[in-house]
């Protein structure tokens, strides 16, 4: 026990030792959080630069819009798309959702029609097969 007291007296009082330890902790916390704030700012700035680099076009003026629009007479009547063939117990709501998804993904001006919806029979569900393919892809 005398060795502990002599080591403590050689290093200084217990208050000095705890003060130095406290300062080390405070300095460490300040450095870590300063670097985290700096990284957050860098990533925020990078996001702003990359979203602006997408090449946004200026909105055309009303005169440019009028010049770009061709003169169109009465639109030609569009034949009604045949009703999709539902097989395998697929409900009308599912067909409507699939048709809406296709329409949402279609480029502007293109028209698509869902002609047939059927269930796919296989060994495992499509999402399970996609997960296996994703996780076992070679490096």
pTM of the model: 0.33
So what's the pLDDT on residue 33? 97
Give the mean model confidence (pLDDT) for residues 64-81: 61
So what's the pLDDT on residue 37? 96
- Token duo for residue 85: 């063939």
Identify the residue whose tokens are 């957050």: 40
pLDDT at residue 88 tops 60: yes
pLDDT tens sequence across 13-49: 888 888 999 999 999 999 999 999 999 999 999 988 8
- Token duo for residue 45: 């700035």
What 3-state class would DSSP assign to 121? coil
């Amino acid at each position: 026990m005398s060795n502990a007291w002599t080591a403590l007296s050689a290093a200084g009082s217990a208050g000095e030792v705890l003060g130095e330890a406290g300062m080390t902790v405070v300095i460490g916390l300040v450095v870590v959080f300063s670097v985290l704030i700096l990284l957050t700012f860098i990533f925020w700035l990078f996001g702003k630069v990359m979203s602006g680099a997408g090449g946004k076009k200026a909105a055309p003026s009303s005169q440019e819009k009028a010049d770009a629009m061709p003169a169109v007479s009465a639109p030609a009547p569009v034949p009604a798309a045949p009703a999709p063939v539902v097989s395998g117990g697929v409900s009308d709501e599912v067909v409507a959702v699939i048709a809406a998804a296709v329409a949402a993904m279609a480029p502007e001006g293109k028209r698509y029609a869902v002609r047939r919806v059927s269930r796919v029979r296989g060994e495992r569900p499509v999402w399970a097969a996609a997960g296996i393919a994703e996780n076992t892809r070679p490096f």
